Structure 1
Amino acid sequence: MYKTLERYRSCNYASEASSAPIEAELNNYQEYLKLKTRIEFLQTTQRNLLGEDLGPLSTKELEQLENQIEISLKHIRSSKNQQMLDQLFELKRKEQQLQDSNKELRRKIQETSEENVLRLSCQDLGPGGSSSHADEANQELLRTAVCDPSLHIG
């Protein structure tokens, strides 16, 4: 009896072991067929979106394709508009920075030009005065007003 049970077990486990690889191969093949069908469907859809192989499509399928293309175009346009608005905002920000820099440079130029005018005026009206015979009292008053730093406002 013991020998009979041993033979039964060995035959039963051997048949299960040999059937497991067959089932795995069958599952792999079914998975392969599913993937192959999916790839073919995607390739057909891609060709249809590119405007190729439209003959076998029904009117309903063509309308669905048209709707899908319109939705895609709307999405593309909105993305493009958003990018353009972002660029516009960035350019306006740069423009404002440049305008601020320009104002600052103009202010500095004006300050330096005013200082140069004052320096030149003081040098022209220096202690020796000018060689012309103009009224010396007016020259002295002008020299004092322009060249005396204590009289400058600001």
Structure 2
Amino acid sequence: MDSILERYERCSQSEQLAGTNNDSQGNLSLELFKLTTRAEVLQKNIRNYEGEDLDPLSLKELQSLEHQLDTAIKRIRTKKNQIMMETVSGEQKKEKALKDENNMLAKKLKEKEKEKSLINGVGPRRRQETLAQYPFNFNVSPSQRLPPPTLTLGGTCGEGGGLSAEDYEEAEAGPSNTIMPPWMMFHTTT
């Protein structure tokens, strides 16, 4: 009796599994058909969006397609403008930061120059006094400078007690060993 009951249960379970398989296969076939149809519709819409296969469409379908494209373009432009504004804003922040950093570096440079001039013992006022006392223009090219006065050792002085025109022309013509170096010309009084 137990064996008969076991066989009965096995047979009923196998019938249920077979029925379930038939139902699931039917559901899968239906699902496959729906997905295939959906894929074909999407491919047709893509072709229409690209401007292909427009001949079979009616006026209403064309207007609907145009409206969809206009809406999509508006969304795209809005997103593009948003990204551009964010980029411009970021670049303006970078520009402001670079200007601030540049100003800070300029201030530091001025402070360093001021410290350097104080360390050298010549402040801005002292430097101007020195330049006024010795009006020698260092920005003039050597060819434009007047030659420094010459000192002739062991020679005779003329009646005027200074250089003669010949001596001056000789000094201009070329350097000699009797010309005083420029550093000997200037002596500072502190």
The two structures have a TM-score, normalised by structure 2, of: 0.57
Q: Write the deviation string for residues 80-124 of structure 1: whole angstroms up to 9, x where unpaired.
A: 100100001100100111011111111011112222333252798
Q: Distance in 2 between matches of 1:40 and 1:52?
A: 15
Matched, 1:116 2:116: yes
The residue number in structure 1 matching 2:71 is: 71
| Structure number with higher helix proportion | 1
Q: 1:131 to 1:15 in 2, by over 3 A?
A: closer
Higher alpha-carbon Rg: 2
User: What is the number of residues matched between the two proteins?
Assistant: 123
Q: Write the deviation string for residues 45-90 of structure 1: whole angstroms up to 9, x where unpaired.
A: 1110011101100100000100000000001101110010000110
Q: Distance in 2 between matches of 1:17 and 1:92?
A: 70
The residue number in structure 1 matching 2:28 is: 28
Q: Which runs of 5+ in 1 are unaligned?
A: 133-138, 144-154
Q: Which runs of 5+ in 2 are unaligned?
A: 131-185
CA RMSD of aligned residues (A): 2.7
Q: Distance in 2 between matches of 1:105 and 1:17?
A: 83
Give 1:16 shift: 4.7
For residue 64 of structure 1, give the secondary structure of its aligned residue in structure 2.
Answer: helix
Percent of residue pairs bearing the same amino acid type: 33
The two structures have a TM-score, normalised by structure 1, of: 0.69
- Paired AA for residue 131 in structure 1: H
The residue number in structure 2 matching 1:47 is: 47
For residue 53 of structure 1, give the secondary structure of its aligned residue in structure 2.
Answer: coil
Q: Distance in 2 between matches of 1:100 and 1:24?
A: 72
